[in-house]
Structure 1
Amino acid sequence: MYTIKDLYDLDHTLAKDYLSQFTYPWEALKGIKDMIIALGETLGDDYEEREPQVWVHKTAKVFDSAYLGAPCIIGPNTEVRQCAFIRGSALVGADCVVGNSAELKNVILFDHVQTPHYNYVGDSILGYFSHMGAGSITSNVKSDKQLVVVHNGTEKIETGLKKFGAMLGDYVEVGCNAVCNPGTVIGRHSNVYPTSCVRGVVPENCIYKNSGEIVEKR
């Protein structure tokens, strides 16, 4: 329930070939920067290289107050709104919204992803049509600074990573002011209640209400 094949339809990202190399999505985090640089060099005339290693599709709308750090790719018809802070190593797909005061760092956003209001997304991969409600964030470093472990019930999966936010499957909805703790994996079509503190693996087609209360959708 937490492999790339389980979580994502790779036809909805420019990172398809890159992600296809891996079994688990967090294995792709270390190479996102290099992948974006290599991919950017192959983009056609529909993209403008506005600064070195900053590629923006000609149909994208980037507000003047937004910051685009290298390397990054901004896809077709995407909006990067006021005061958005893209720190770098961000692949943002088509028809996405990076909202006011949202911050992205070392991420892949599939097509139609929305992070529209005051979101922090770091060291994470957000699947097709996933959405983060206002104020929801991915926490990408443990408070004890130890390596992140993915917890699936009694199963513990060592990732070897110090920085690992969240893997959101396709069509995931994260409610307002929710926190996805380091190593969170949320299956396709699942919902997270507002103000939740999420950790571990949430199966697909479920509703995460709070710790210990995950119910299947009807």
Structure 2
Amino acid sequence: MTYRILKTPEEHYSVLRTIQDNRYPTTLTFHSHDQEYLTQVIKADIANRCFYIDELRPPSGHKLAASGESFDIVTKLNGVEIIIKGSSIVGAGKSETGQFYKITFPSEVLYLQRRHAFRVDIPEESEVFVEFRGDEHQSTTHAEVLDISATGCRLKIKKMPEPPFENGDHIPFFNFKISQNIHVEGEAEVRFISEVEEDASFIIGLQLTELFGLGHRTMERFVNEIQREARKQRFE
């Protein structure tokens, strides 16, 4: 696991905006109690160096928050764990949707990334595709890659082959076309399948059980490049 300490307001804002935009569940734990409370980051404000969280669940957390009890915040997203320690509520209010709380940016944010598990969304303009076939399938399936990590990916296919893929199916060969000149090949296993009723397509999750040649290094480099580009665009 890779450990990083984020200390600048810009880094804090970037992380908090990612949590906010993707509505990742966040856990809040008061130092004087073992109970965990669920909330969400609803706004990050870099100009005033603060952020806002939604009402706490269960509601018993409201009294603790109002009394100024210190707490830790933990959010897990796509192979990353984000920890903010020793925070407290500096303001509160009510909106049409319920209670909310104001918290100042901390002095530091602990950012723990499991490198091989970190998953990134593929930008639409990147158009990353994969070709694969199962043990029971003679024809090759072409799929759009929606998100990817060094150990797994989520794909979208327009039509299920015959016989249809099932959970646990072995994929003896896949070929990721990251770009015109960069390919990653290996073996995989089907981990989940869901149907998208709106356009009669299917979402398939693959676990990448083996990457051939320099596939691991190539995949990690690709994931890191997308992650850096996403951070850069957030401040443009």
Answer 1 or 2: which has greater strand percent. Answer: 2
Name the larger-Rg structure: 2
Answer 1 or 2: which has greater helix percent. Answer: 2
TM-score, with length taken from structure 2: 0.20
TM-score, with length taken from structure 1: 0.22
